[in-house]
Amino acid sequence: MKNMNTFTVDELNEVLKGLVEHEFNHPIMVIGEVIDASDSINGIQYFQLRGNKGFKKSNISCLMFGGISDKIIKEYESHEVMVTGKATVYSVTGRCQIQVTDIIEYGEGHLKKEIEKIRLKLEKQGLFLNKRKFPQYPGSIGIISSSDSDAVHDVCSRLKQRFPISDLIIYHSRVQGEYAANNIIQQIKRCNKDSQIDILMIVRGGGSLEDLMAFNDENLARAMYESRIPIITGIGHQPDITIADYVADYSAETPTAAAEYISVDQNELMQRLHTYDEQIKSSTQLSLSKQNENLMTKIIEIERYNPKRIIDTLIIKNDEFVKDFKKYIKNKIDLYISTKNLHLSRLVQSKKVIESTMKEKKRNYKDIHNRLSISMERNYQEKLTYLKNTYTSLMTYNPKEMLKKGYSILRRNDGKVLKSKLELEKVQIFNAELQDGRINIEKIKTKK
């Protein structure tokens, strides 16, 4: 007879399966990291879900049947996920497993995807553009953070060390947790309403991605973009980048770096002022030296243009000019008289030559006139005789005269004269010009 506590392997596995399925008779959700993802030819996908507590991390087997979900498990390899499914025991091996019906990203992987979605949306809307300029010497600086945080302490210490003349106003706000984003938004609006500060700092120390999620809030990004006051962020440490950093007018790696960026080192400023002072002194001395040189130059010029000296010089020059002018006028008059007498003598001689030439020309004119008259009369008679002879010849060969003797002229209808029998045979109609006019003639066609 079999003992009540004795089971076969198959019986024990079936009991364990029943216990598990009875205990978890509804779908459960399990969080873990996907490892060892694979699939089989029958469409089933297998993977291990690994825990993350302690050094000895526990695993649980998972499988997902084809057709239940369109997700590919290999895409989730090494990602933290939350699976939904039914807990059961595989009776062949006695191993507990989960038959998965759904799987989603969880933890930082999920958060990063959500953050990237918001970042792309805000970038497309232009919230990362139009950066405001920071004043070089801010009179008042606002700090939004937890008032008792190390970040605020570091920022205030650094600002007092570098630029102690700036007033610091701390606007206390939560920087972590569910209400942190709304707290920061309210403080941004308060700063803009009060208009007491020149620069607004939003700072926080380092932390996990979940700790910094308040700075990835979409509404916070819009409030920062709409702020009239330029904003600088110093959130977390060097690798931490939040959406607030993208929207800010400048994003520093740490809170202390943000304080250094917006402040001027007082030692450097004093050195710069000292340098400016030396430059001003040097420039002033150089300017005075140049002015002194210009003054001496002006004095020399004034002496050169002294009225008494100028008048004395002008009197001397005037006397010399009058003397030279009188001499010049006398020379001009003498030259004019001499030239006038010379021209007068030449005119008398020219008159005699012209009168003699005129007499000679008159004699030549009479001779030429007589010769021309005789030549023209002779030429006229010769031309008249030639004209008479030409007229007689023309009248002899005038066609009209020939017509009077009984001749006629045959022409085609276009007026062309018919000069041969062959030309006459080619036309049917022609005309004949007689003494008393023209007549059209049509040849009579004869039958052959």
In order of 79, 308, 329, 332, the CA distances from 319 in angstroms are 115, 17, 15, 20
Same domain, 257 and 278: no
Q: What pLDDT sits at residue 245?
A: 94
Question: What pLDDT score was predicted for residue 446?
Answer: 64
Residue range 354-375: mean pLDDT, rounded: 85
pLDDT value at residue 226: 95
pLDDT, tens digit (0-9, with 9 covering 90-100), for 214-227 = 999 999 999 999 99
Q: What is the mean pLDDT of residues 234-257?
A: 89
Res. 133: pLDDT tops 80: yes
Q: Is 173 found in the same domain as 255?
A: yes
- Give the pLDDT confidence score for residue 56 in this predicted structure: 59
**230, 254: one domain:** yes
Question: What is the rounded distance in angstroms from the CA atom of residue 433 to the CA atom of residue 408?
Answer: 5
Q: What is the percent of the chain with per-residue pLDDT over 90, rounded to a whole number?
A: 27
Chain segment 79-104, per-residue pLDDT in tens: 888 889 999 998 888 889 989 998 88
Instruction: Please indicate, yes or no, if residue 298 is contained in any of the structural domains.
Output: yes
Look at residue 107 in the predicted model and tell me its pLDDT: 67
CATH number of the domain that 223 lies in? 3.40.50.261
Confirm whether 363 is domain-assigned: no
**19 and 142 fall within a common domain:** no
Q: Domain for residue 275, yes or no?
A: yes
Residues 119 and 81 both lie in one domain: no
| 146 and 241 housed in the same domain | yes
120-131 confidence digits (pLDDT tens): 999 999 999 989
Query: Across the chain, what does the average pLDDT equal?
Result: 85
| pLDDT at position 140 over 80 | yes
The verdict on 236 and 284 lying in the same domain is no
Share of the chain above pLDDT 70, in %: 95
Residue 397, in any domain of the structure = no
Q: Return the higher-pLDDT residue of 367 and 4.
A: 367
pLDDT value of position 350: 83
Same domain, 201 and 235: yes
pLDDT in tens, 168-187: 999 999 999 889 999 999 99
**Where residue 28 sits, what CATH number does that domain have?**
2.40.50.140
> For residue 333, is it within any domain?
no
If asked whether residues 210 and 223 sit together in one domain, one would say yes
Confidence of residue 154 (pLDDT cuts 50, 70, 90): very high
pLDDT tens profile 324-349: 888 888 888 888 888 888 888 888 88
pLDDT of 1 strictly over 60: no
Asked if residue 275 and residue 210 are part of one domain, the reply reads no
pLDDT tens sequence across 30-77: 888 889 988 887 888 999 998 875 455 789 999 998 766 678 888 888
Question: Count of domains in the chain?
Answer: 4
Q: Which residues contact 101 (CB under 8 A, 6 or more apart)?
A: 27, 64, 68, 69, 84, 85, 86
Q: Are residues 117 and 235 in the same domain?
A: yes
The per-residue pLDDT for 236 is 82
Per-residue model confidence (pLDDT) at position 203: 95
Is 193 inside any structural domain? yes
Strand partners of residue 88: 97
Q: pTM value?
A: 0.48
| pLDDT category of residue 259 using cuts at 50, 70 and 90 | very high
Strand order in the sheet with 437-442: 409-411, 429-434, 437-442
> 424 and 297 share a domain?
no
Q: Is residue 435 part of a domain?
A: yes
Query: What is the β-pairing status of strands 231-235 and 409-411?
Result: unpaired
Q: For residue 39, what are the domain limits?
A: 9-105
In a domain, residue 408? The reply is yes
Average pLDDT of the residues in 188-216? 90
pLDDT band for position 281 (50/70/90)? confident
What value does the mean pLDDT take over residues 278-284?
84
Give the per-residue pLDDT at 68.
67
